Structure 1
Amino acid sequence: MKTLPRLLAACIAAALPMPALAAQTYALVVGVDHYPNDVSLDGAVQDAEDVYRSMNEAGFKAIKFTNEEARKDDIRKAWTDMVTEAAPGDTIIFTYAGHGAQMPELIPGDEADGLDEFLQLPGFDRNRYEETSKEIIVDNEMNAWFAEAEGKGVHVLFVSDSCFSGGMSRSIKGKTRLAPAVKVKLAPPSQEAISGANLKEADFKQVTVLAASLESQPTPEVIIDGQPRGALSWSFARAVEGSADRNGDGLITRIELEDYVFSNVKNRSEALQVPNFTPQVARSESEVVVTLTRGIPVKAEEGAAANTDAGRTVKTAKELGWTGTIALQIDGTAERPQHADGAGTPFRWDVASGVFYTPNGDVAAENVGPDRIQAVVDKFVLLDFLKAMASQNPGSVSLTPAKDIYAAGDRLRFDAPPGRYPNMLVFNLANTGEVQFLDMQAAGTNSSEFKLTDVEVVKPFGADHLITISTAEPVDAIGSVLADRNVTAETLLQALATRLDGKEASVAIQPLYTRETL
């Protein structure tokens, strides 16, 4: 499609000299779980509530529609009212969490793949299209909406946590935000669906779209903090809270948003998704997509860590929601390990087969007996701690070729570029629960990119997690712990909590899921 390749989006805003002079930001938030005529979802409304809360706290003028409230006429009126009220230089952010779907193109020759994409609202019934067609929002219609804002000099950020095509090779028990395609060619649901077809991506200079995943991928609901969620919505809510504002100036640039969202969607989806921006490249290095009208930095909350970088408050893992436990369902008879009495959607351990499953339904480890279960549990407790740290300061690493799962014999390359801090630790949390020390670079040494080249996938199979931590804090003591060949995840967690919790540190996480054959 043209402007909405996967109907997920982010927006643009003009660079302003000071947050105190920031233009107004408006927010239109839509989330749908309940689909009377289709498979319902579990986490889209929670996504909308989370995003709406973060936008209110940021000082945006926000309106929210969830479930049966999400009627096209009401959403369209809210958009029109925002465009009417907004002044040139203001921003409208439109977020959507729910089903997306495809249909034969409404205007012949309009789409390269012959398909239009649409957002599916609760009132739509594909078996009664003529009666319910006004309860979808087609990509062409959204082009027309965006053109109204751009014609007035208003910037648009569209963030849509849905999907339209793609398949996955990982075993996921959660739902995907993909409704069945409409197979037959239908009449356009509105005049806007016709006029919007004439608008091309190049016509928009003040619209940015952030998609939840690439066209070849689905958008699954994943478990975050024990609950079904959309990884993009969760990450965007944290970004708006200020976590994406690296320099604390109250403005989130396109580059800052990219760096933050790409890393955290990968972390929270366990590498099932790669977000997609349109346009693919920022229009300028200083292009602003979100203006935090209340301004950042904010005053530290009572009891919050006082350490800051560029005016940002650094919170501890517990302040970010880490509990030090995971939820675990044990199928069979076995003693419950420590730190496995948490709440929410559980991990699952099949005692008889020895298979340990993630809350998403992935195989995380094989051959897990009573002698190994504590190590595996402790690994995921530590991983949750690292994900909490990454949520406020994510780093960047890469695994090539990029896949959601790898088979025995596949060869890989892992790259961890130097961060903006002088010290770096690199280690692997293996699917066995073992901690494998890979590298340490400390201040005073020649900092360089860490690379693992031509790595072959071999047994045991499951989920490994390659970790890099960059910081200005001393890392020699942590490196000493890592260098112990018998170090456990629990011991490493204690060292990291003592030395880095609440301190400025960048964490990058690269999930690596493997199996014997695909």
Structure 2
Amino acid sequence: MMLRALLLSLLVSAAPLGFAYAKTYALVVGVDAYPYEVSLDGAVKDATDVEGALRRAGIDQMATFFDAAARKDDIRAAWTGFVDAAGEGDTIIFTYAGHGAQMPELVAGDEADGLDEFLQLPGFDRNRAVETDHEIIVDNELNAWFSEAEAKGVHVLFVSDSCHSGGMSRAFSGKTRLAQAVTVKLSPPSQEAVSGAQVKEAQFRQVTVLAASLESQPSPEVIIGGEARGALSWSFARAVEGSADRNEDGRISRIELEDYVFANVKHQSEALQIPNFTPQVPRSEDEVVMPLTRSVAGAADPSAQKTKTHRPVRETGWDGKLALTVSGSQMVLESTGGSGVPYRWDAASGVFYTPNGDVAGENVNEGNIQVVVNKFILLDFLKAMASQNPGTVSLTPQRDIYAAGDRLAFDAPGSGYKNMIVFNLANTGEVQLLDVQAEGTESREFKLTDLQVVEPFGADHLIAISTNEPIDAIGAALASKNVDASTLLQLLMTRIDGTDTSVAIQPLYTREKL
């Protein structure tokens, strides 16, 4: 026992002091129930998911505020307590899931668009804005709060799963975290709103802000695992659980968090939103935004064995079934009956809808409906793999929906893996092989430079799988042009499920030209 204690002592003393002894505090806010506003469905689920992930990461200095408990004075007091307790090199994580909104700027000339953004707490009533303005947190006030931490050398990571403005081109049946704008001019609700206006984002050196979307986009609640959720909160929770820690050093760098979150928000929102980091460019290649304190001992020893594992997809909750409602047909379909918000097939019109309300396929009839169902079962499997190890692919130009005749380019960058398979899951359910790269020292970039949108319209999904596992059998099956989504699923389950494999997914939604 004495030898073990001595070795542990040496390991900790060998670690950089700021890492070995740094503390992390977390303030988590989630609001669904708005007495004076349209309530949300998934914000509290998001907040509790993030809370659980943070606790599993080893963070026990935490304050949580859900629904009616989310009062500004109490949140402010918790923030002040953390700043007072924290020292140089410590980290405060502040996450918010709920409504965001805009109002006329409180300090003249402070905002380029003349509008301040704010987090809307349950006690705010825009019909009594002057009387209840103490229950909003304005962006300027957040600047003042963050400045307090920065002055002590405390790192701040603020994750805001809310939205402020903009519109979407695609049909969408869910809720957005965008409250109606306040139109009356309010007096500054606090002195902090005035002092914070003097602080510009560029002045921060230890503050990182991760927002659910650009200001030109709303943040929708999307269906993940059958439930309404925020794609940013879901992705952040998975990142904190360790999925973003690619080099397994017990810390999540800004680059690791960015790569993980960008990919999974795209996957889970079906390309409806793009997260926004501030600053846009990492301050350094090794900038750390969050330590995973459970891993201090292992991270202090460079020779410590890596413990990250890749779970089989069934262990993530995937069950190989699709929740589906059918109207206009009595056909019995295989592998349906899953739980949660369902896909929908209207046999009379031939339209197949996603749980989010998007048109996923047209001209879907009894002859091809099973093939379409099989496609989305496979897609859910691939999303579950991607949540553990996401890859990168892109479409240019970047849009949430493309019209007939539009031209675009698809890019699947090379990776550090030996093998890569690129294919398309068409809206018809067909599997279309695009490229196979087997047994190289490193996969090469794959490009399609002049794609054109043509009928049939709906949702295609371009997939890139990168792995060091043998892929000859998978490639041969795809090259035969006889493999369908169900067969491909079985090939992937028996050959790469649970392995160190990267999956990238690029949704491609199309429609007729308006």
Range of TM-score over shorter length: over 0.9
Residue 309 (structure 1) shift: 9.9
Residue 350 of structure 2 is aligned with which of 347, 354, 359? 354
2:460 corresponding residue in structure 1: 464
Q: Is the 8 A contact 1:249 1:297 kept in 2?
A: no
Once residues 185 and 20 of structure 1 are traced to their aligned partners in structure 2, the CA distance between those partners, rounded to angstroms, is 46
Residue 297 (structure 1) shift: 10
1:505 corresponding residue in structure 2: 501
Q: Is the 8 A contact 1:242 1:296 kept in 2?
A: no
Q: Is the 8 A contact 2:251 2:292 kept in 1?
A: yes
Residue 320 of structure 1 is aligned with which of 313, 316, 320? 316
2:301 corresponding residue in structure 1: none
Once residues 215 and 395 of structure 2 are traced to their aligned partners in structure 1, the CA distance between those partners, rounded to angstroms, is 20
Write out aligned runs for 1:100-111 (5 A). Answer: 100-111=100-111
Is 1:517 aligned to residue 513 of structure 2? yes
Is 1:31 aligned to residue 30 of structure 2? yes
1:237 corresponding residue in structure 2: 237
Instruction: Give structure 1 regions of 4+ aligned residues with deviation exceeding 3 angstroms.
Output: 16-20, 308-311, 444-447
Matched residue of 2:367: which SS? Answer: coil
Matched residue of 2:271: which SS? Answer: coil
Q: TM-score, normalised by structure 1?
A: 0.93
Write out aligned runs for 1:69-84 (5 A). Answer: 69-84=69-84
1:305 corresponding residue in structure 2: none
Q: Is the 8 A contact 2:345 2:351 kept in 1?
A: yes
1:411 corresponding residue in structure 2: 407
Letter in 1 for 2:31: V
User: What per-residue deviation string (whole Å, max 9, x for no partner) do you get for residues 43-64 of structure 1?
Assistant: 0000000000000111112221
User: What per-residue deviation string (whole Å, max 9, x for no partner) do you get for residues 445-493 of structure 1?
Assistant: 7742100111100000000000000011111111011112121100000
1:52 corresponding residue in structure 2: 51
Letter in 2 for 1:295: S
2:196 corresponding residue in structure 1: 196
Residue 19 (structure 1) shift: 9.9
2:477 corresponding residue in structure 1: 481
Write out aligned runs for 1:10-29 (5 A). Answer: 17=16, 21-29=20-28
Once residues 386 and 305 of structure 2 are traced to their aligned partners in structure 1, the CA distance between those partners, rounded to angstroms, is 15
Matched residue of 2:376: which SS? Answer: helix
**Bigger Cα displacement from structure 2, 79-88 vs 327-336:** 327-336
User: What per-residue deviation string (whole Å, max 9, x for no partner) do you get for residues 79-125 of structure 1?
Assistant: 01111111111000000000000000000000011100000000000
2:227 corresponding residue in structure 1: 227
More helix by share: 2
Once residues 504 and 206 of structure 1 are traced to their aligned partners in structure 2, the CA distance between those partners, rounded to angstroms, is 33
Letter in 2 for 1:469: I
Letter in 2 for 1:355: V
Q: Is the 8 A contact 2:419 2:442 kept in 1?
A: no
Q: Which runs of 5+ in 1 are unaligned?
A: 1-15, 299-307
2:39 corresponding residue in structure 1: 40
2:12 corresponding residue in structure 1: none
User: What per-residue deviation string (whole Å, max 9, x for no partner) do you get for residues 197-231 of structure 1?
Assistant: 01011221100001111122110000000000000
Once residues 134 and 433 of structure 2 are traced to their aligned partners in structure 1, the CA distance between those partners, rounded to angstroms, is 57
Once residues 208 and 470 of structure 2 are traced to their aligned partners in structure 1, the CA distance between those partners, rounded to angstroms, is 40
2:183 corresponding residue in structure 1: 183
1:4 corresponding residue in structure 2: none
Letter in 2 for 1:34: A
Q: Is the 8 A contact 1:309 1:504 kept in 2?
A: no
User: What per-residue deviation string (whole Å, max 9, x for no partner) do you get for residues 404-428 of structure 1?
Assistant: 0000000010000001111100000
CA root-mean-square deviation: 1.6
Q: Is the 8 A contact 1:297 1:312 kept in 2?
A: no
Once residues 202 and 486 of structure 2 are traced to their aligned partners in structure 1, the CA distance between those partners, rounded to angstroms, is 53
Residue 333 (structure 1) shift: 2.4
Residue 341 of structure 1 is aligned with which of 327, 337, 344? 337
Matched residue of 2:202: which SS? Answer: helix
1:282 corresponding residue in structure 2: 282
Letter in 2 for 1:277: F
Once residues 391 and 19 of structure 1 are traced to their aligned partners in structure 2, the CA distance between those partners, rounded to angstroms, is 30
Does the C-alpha gap of structure 1 residues 35 and 471 become closer, same or farther in structure 2, counting only changes over 3 Å?
same
Matched residue of 1:312: which SS? Answer: coil
Q: Is the 8 A contact 1:27 1:94 kept in 2?
A: yes
Once residues 202 and 260 of structure 1 are traced to their aligned partners in structure 2, the CA distance between those partners, rounded to angstroms, is 24
User: What per-residue deviation string (whole Å, max 9, x for no partner) do you get for residues 148-176 of structure 1?
Assistant: 11111110000000000010011110000
Letter in 1 for 2:163: C
Once residues 119 and 470 of structure 1 are traced to their aligned partners in structure 2, the CA distance between those partners, rounded to angstroms, is 40
Once residues 472 and 157 of structure 1 are traced to their aligned partners in structure 2, the CA distance between those partners, rounded to angstroms, is 35
Q: Is the 8 A contact 1:247 1:311 kept in 2?
A: no
Once residues 69 and 495 of structure 1 are traced to their aligned partners in structure 2, the CA distance between those partners, rounded to angstroms, is 49
User: What per-residue deviation string (whole Å, max 9, x for no partner) do you get for residues 177-208 of structure 1?
Assistant: 00000112111111111111010112211000
Letter in 1 for 2:197: A
Q: Is the 8 A contact 1:250 1:295 kept in 2?
A: yes
Write out aligned runs for 1:99-498 (5 A). Answer: 99-295=99-295, 310-444=306-440, 447-498=443-494
Q: Is the 8 A contact 2:252 2:291 kept in 1?
A: yes
Q: Is the 8 A contact 1:106 1:116 kept in 2?
A: yes
**Bigger Cα displacement from structure 2, 182-191 vs 410-419:** 182-191
Letter in 1 for 2:231: A
Letter in 2 for 1:96: Y
Matched residue of 1:367: which SS? Answer: coil
Q: Is the 8 A contact 1:20 1:295 kept in 2?
A: no
Letter in 1 for 2:259: D
User: What per-residue deviation string (whole Å, max 9, x for no partner) do you get for residues 213-265 of structure 1?
Assistant: 11221100000000000000000000000000001110000000000000000
Q: Is the 8 A contact 2:408 2:452 kept in 1?
A: yes
Q: Which runs of 5+ in 2 are unaligned?
A: 1-14, 299-303
1:13 corresponding residue in structure 2: none
User: Whose RCO is larger (CA < 8 A, sep 6+)?
Assistant: 1
Letter in 2 for 1:182: V
Residue 326 (structure 1) shift: 1.1
Once residues 309 and 377 of structure 1 are traced to their aligned partners in structure 2, the CA distance between those partners, rounded to angstroms, is 42
Q: Is the 8 A contact 1:19 1:293 kept in 2?
A: no
Residue 336 (structure 1) shift: 2.9
**Bigger Cα displacement from structure 2, 59-68 vs 99-108:** 59-68
